[in-house]
Chains A and B, each alone.
Chain A
């Protein structure tokens, strides 16, 4: 995959690796992210990995787009090394009833029983593709095909932090109470976001997650 470099205003370059949610593309993104972190490119202040792209933010008083792109082209990222140094998290989950008010609707939409929905959700290892939206939110991909339902037409509010929500091939664990158009199937007491801690964020891009029943 040959990366495409696009300027993002005055102070950033977007490195596009692909256009789909895909483990291989994501491994390339995370590998590049970690390689940049250890390369310490002059003027680069921050990188932001996403599903299929990486934003490289720089100080435009110290460097420019051409300088950053030349430094990126000279790197030799190692996606395999990145994949092998990612953490695996086991997250306890409660499903259905008050913890997952949408589980019956998801069961109806997928033609399965609620028990099958829970079993399907726990059957795979999820990849943390990216963080975003709000502090501590981690976008998990690789929801099993049988569980993929489009998001609701209207967002609904009233779901607490720790809600396990799904839409399409994506799964999220919320860290703030906020309206969502995704389907709320469960809840976890796992602490994904501890603002006052030295390590406030549990999940890092590239990590893997398994849900286990309580």
Chain B
């Protein structure tokens, strides 16, 4: 049994869009994977609702989101950072699941941690897909799309509403240490400058969007500004012509001529993307082999956590979808 629930977006902060699983296979045509900046929080939101882990949900950032339920009833859940929710003024905290019915208004507000949060619905959020995914590519607006004030949303909700309450947080990585594999263009930097960069703390900044985040650190000057364009992927730290270090995220350009000094680990990329300005991390150089080992360990931990959240009721499709976690972290930059 399903019912239709309808919502109005009363207010959508900047960078609010629909995100599902990443799209794969189109980087060669300039199309990055897109998908959630924090695929762990995204999957947790869906798991808590009994959805496929890559189902379409709303991604929002520091500006938050207010939705009014106009018709029907639906389970919903929010995860990511410590974005807190309130229904009709009643405070419900962060990482929470509940049901909402016609006439009620939900407000999500950012608190002190995290840049990205997710709001999902038990059932299916009606969203257009492009190249096999409802994930929004913000530059073109293709996919489910960015949310704007006054927009109407339709949810084909399950009539059986999930139990509400707090959602346990995912296993954290090594909190203040980020693993980095040097390359593929590290040879264009002075080795002493790379050593200095690795030894100094690296700092998150407020300059971010779905394409990337500008980082502060002891950034080495690049000796090569005349490089021809090369493919890049998410998690890469690119040093641009003005000497800025930029962490590439889910929507970044697929090719670019600026050298990439190194690539962060899967969970490390998410941790840095979620970090508020001035939060500092240490870098730890690892080999590609170590990075694979660490990534496999991290994803196995996250899969166990998601399985517990789903109450081990996940279908085969869920388990296959959770195998997709990595694709959200791999993608590519250019300038025309």
A positions within 8 Å CB-CB of B: 6-12, 14, 16, 19-21, 45-55, 57, 59-61, 64-66, 130-137, 139, 165, 172, 174, 176, 178, 180-182, 195, 200-201, 205
Q: Looking at the complex, which one of A8, A174, A201 makes contact with B29 (CB distance below 8 Å)? A: A201
Chain A's closest residue to B227 (CB) is: A19
Interface flag for B255 (CB, 8 Å): yes
In contact, B229 and A10 (Cβ under 8 angstroms) = no
In contact, A46 and B296 (Cβ under 8 angstroms) = no
Q: Compute the total of residue contacts between A and B using a CB distance below 8 Å.
A: 164
Smallest distance from the beta carbon of A131 to chain B beta carbons, Å? 5
Chain A's closest residue to B143 (CB) is: A195
Contacts of A172 in B (CB 8 A): 336
Bound CA–CA A52/B255 (angstroms)? 12
Whether A20 touches B231, Cβ cut-off 8 Å, given contacts A9-B236, A201-B29, is no
List, sorted by A's number, 6 A–B pairs whose CB atoms are closer than 8 Å. A8-B183, A11-B295, A57-B233, A132-B256, A139-B229, A201-B29
In contact, A9 and B263 (Cβ under 8 angstroms) = yes
In contact, B235 and A9 (Cβ under 8 angstroms) = yes
Smallest distance from the beta carbon of B207 to chain A beta carbons, Å? 18
Chain A's closest residue to B260 (CB) is: A8
Chain B's closest residue to A178 (CB) is: B336
In contact, B263 and A8 (Cβ under 8 angstroms) = yes
In contact, B27 and A48 (Cβ under 8 angstroms) = yes
In contact, A57 and B183 (Cβ under 8 angstroms) = no
Q: How big is chain B's contact interface, by range?
A: 35 or more
In contact, A14 and B231 (Cβ under 8 angstroms) = yes
In contact, B288 and A10 (Cβ under 8 angstroms) = yes
Main secondary structure of the interface of A (DSSP, over half): loop
Please encode chain B, from 220 to 250, with 1 for each CB lying within 8 Å of some chain A CB and 0 for all others: 0000000011110101100000000000000
In contact, B231 and A132 (Cβ under 8 angstroms) = yes
Smallest distance from the beta carbon of A66 to chain B beta carbons, Å? 8
Contacts of A8 in B (CB 8 A): 181, 183-184, 233, 236, 260, 263
Q: Looking at the complex, which one of B30, B231, B236, B292 makes contact with A136 (CB distance below 8 Å)? A: B30
Please encode chain B, from 242 to 270, with 1 for each CB lying within 8 Å of some chain A CB and 0 for all others: 00000000000111100010111110000
Smallest distance from the beta carbon of A132 to chain B beta carbons, Å? 3
Bound CA–CA A50/B254 (angstroms)? 10
Minimum-distance CB pairs A-B, first 3: A9-B263, A132-B255, A7-B288
Interface flag for B309 (CB, 8 Å): no
B119-176 contacts to A (CB < 8 Å): 130-131, 137, 139-140, 142
Whether A48 touches B184, Cβ cut-off 8 Å, given contacts A11-B330, A55-B233, A130-B255, is no
Interface flag for B89 (CB, 8 Å): no
From B253, B264, B288, B296, name the one whose CB has the most chain A CB atoms within 10 angstroms.
B288
Chain B's closest residue to A14 (CB) is: B184
Chain A's closest residue to B33 (CB) is: A46
